[in-house]
Structure 1
């Protein structure tokens, strides 16, 4: 590990143009001399470290609840019109970013007073932010431990070369470096690479044991489960409540509303948890028969009239066989 030393005036970091990030070395020295010692500042700012549990909970609530509402609003509106949903995606993305910031603080053990609460909050938020918490936390801690160290670059930072390093590169590597630091790559392709690809397999954490892998795979599983639920809600469920082996179709004048409602829609008999999550939409035959019944009262109908349970009933296991009807 490199010893602390005064910056070499030839080793200014390079930006989009190799000289763009260079600063006047004399101004840099003057700034350092006028600035209080970092250790003194550390003692000052450490007084602000203790989290306020009430405030932390409040901040989490006013971030998570609006995100969920905007997200659900966007999802619901896409069924009727594209543009309203697209508009709602923007504030949802903003709140998602704020959730990532909360996850970031959890990674530092700075959000709640107890580390365990921080960790589990961060892990759960990681499913929403596409960021495996324990893997990211280790990488980010390494970034904090090595930030600004020219000999420890490469973890949790954007690749940055000194002017002398840039000048020593062959032309094709200079081109690659300039392309890498292009805003379209850094702020477009880069986040896609990090959040959708790189963080799915923590190859850079092989030496850190099983936890980064467990964290990543658990986050991936949560993302798959959430995506699967959405696919099911948006597609398979909508398919199954009307597409099953003995569903009823007829032409007028034989068609009758009540008969078509009761026998043209299924009773998708799901396990309790899925019934609750889907607002009992599986009791679709009763819903079609009387759409004014609140969703939370549909189980009462089946309880009081058990004969309705067997009409057009499809279990979760049986529903997979219905896919062949596509």
Structure 2
């Protein structure tokens, strides 16, 4: 779990500098021929994927030795990824705290139990399955990175205004201070999270306006939306196959075990070396869940040194995504993930209780 500032700094430089350089190159090439852009855009997506992975390490305070360095660099990487890093990492920590406990945490797609699924209408059952197919990660990736953080701030501010107006209507200005400080937002849980979300949005939206002015809105948004959509889609797919697979540990709270959740509820994603580099070795996911304080540059060595203890870890490849995409329901009676096809024949018990839900694409903490 020992962090190295030298290795961390080198990783930031060999990731952020090429990413910025690729943006400059892409803008110049776009003025010559759009047909030359695909390989450049592909590299931009991969480097953004690495930026996100390093931000993830900063969120666990594992990349650098000091907490302050992780917060500062994490904020910079969050601006590049358009994600408020502090709020994201706090939510992500809940996922680590409850991995494999499907009674408390239902994964990245807000998955239903088989009992809840059986209560859906036939139409909603089909809609539920459709919304959780791999192809949906494309619009989902754009929403996750570009829209959701902005929407979070807008909805949070609207909620605060409604709370203030309701309080003023009931009590007038005499208790204005208590009205303001009594507000509890569902979109952030602390003042630190609020400022993180606000400052990230100011920086991200400000950069959109500046870059659109400098390179032109058509070129900027054409490149930006493509890169963010593809990178966000890859984020979601990688996270999905690391936790949703046949035989994954998926227990209720009563008999849930943290170590089994880390080892049997997280897969080892067998990637080619070049893709492991761009994902900062997050494919060694069981090791990461056993201790999130291990920096990415130590995960591979730690995995190799302890392979004899990790025989229960499931090995997957990206090609297994389609097979894993079936396992989007949790059977609470057998404590396992099951394919949706095994439940479609079940008659709905009550068509009015549950409605098909869109994937949350976030790790919200529960009170």
TM-score normalised to structure 2 length? 0.47
Cα distance change of structure 1 residues 205 and 53 upon mapping to structure 2, 3 Å threshold: farther
1:66 maps to 2:18? yes
Superposed CA deviations along residues 42-91 of structure 1, whole A, max 9, x for unmatched, are xxxxxxx1112211111111111211111110011112221223331110
Structure 2 unmatched ranges of 5 or more: 157-184, 218-367
State the 1:207 CA deviation: 5.5
Cα distance change of structure 1 residues 132 and 207 upon mapping to structure 2, 3 Å threshold: closer
Superposed CA deviations along residues 195-232 of structure 1, whole A, max 9, x for unmatched, are 12222243585451222222122111111221222122
Cα distance change of structure 1 residues 235 and 194 upon mapping to structure 2, 3 Å threshold: closer
Q: Which whole-Å CA distance do the structure 1 matches of 2:149 and 2:186 have between them?
A: 11
Cα distance change of structure 1 residues 219 and 117 upon mapping to structure 2, 3 Å threshold: same
TM-score normalised to structure 1 length? 0.53
1:188 maps to 2:138? yes
**1:108 counterpart (12, 36, 60):** 60
Equivalent residue for 1:6?
A: none
Superposed CA deviations along residues 135-155 of structure 1, whole A, max 9, x for unmatched, are 11111111212222222125x
1:90 maps to 2:48? no
Provide the aligned length of Structure 1 versus Structure 2: 186
Contact 1:74 1:86 in 2 (8 A): no
Contact 1:73 1:85 in 2 (8 A): no
Q: Which whole-Å CA distance do the structure 1 matches of 2:146 and 2:79 have between them?
A: 12
Q: Which whole-Å CA distance do the structure 2 matches of 1:213 and 1:163 have between them?
A: 36
**2:191 counterpart (192, 207, 210):** 210
Contact 2:27 2:215 in 1 (8 A): no
Equivalent residue for 1:198?
A: 148
Superposed CA deviations along residues 264-287 of structure 1, whole A, max 9, x for unmatched, are xxxxxxxxxxxxxxxxxxxxxxxx
**2:74 counterpart (122, 125, 129):** 122
1:133 maps to 2:59? no
SS at match of 2:112: coil
Q: Which whole-Å CA distance do the structure 1 matches of 2:213 and 2:123 have between them?
A: 48
Contact 1:146 1:153 in 2 (8 A): yes
Equivalent residue for 1:228?
A: 209
Name which one, 1 or 2, has greater alpha-carbon Rg.
1
**1:159 counterpart (110, 129, 147):** 110
Equivalent residue for 2:122?
A: 171
Q: Which whole-Å CA distance do the structure 1 matches of 2:33 and 2:18 have between them?
A: 21
State the 1:92 CA deviation: 1.1
Q: Which whole-Å CA distance do the structure 2 matches of 1:207 and 1:88 have between them?
A: 37
Contact 2:75 2:85 in 1 (8 A): yes
Contact 2:188 2:194 in 1 (8 A): no
Cα distance change of structure 1 residues 163 and 212 upon mapping to structure 2, 3 Å threshold: same
State the 1:172 CA deviation: 2.6
Superposed CA deviations along residues 244-269 of structure 1, whole A, max 9, x for unmatched, are xxxxxxxxxxxxxxxxxxxxxxxxxx
SS at match of 1:152: coil
State the 1:166 CA deviation: 2.6
State the 1:160 CA deviation: 2.4
Contact 1:201 1:213 in 2 (8 A): no
Higher-RCO chain (CA-CA 8 Å, sequence separation at least 6)? 2
Q: Output aligned runs, 1:1-326, within 5 Å.
A: 49-154=1-106, 157-185=108-136, 187-202=137-152, 205-206=186-187, 208-235=189-216
Structure 1 unmatched ranges of 5 or more: 1-48, 237-326
Contact 1:126 1:132 in 2 (8 A): yes
Q: Which whole-Å CA distance do the structure 2 matches of 1:133 and 1:93 have between them?
A: 19
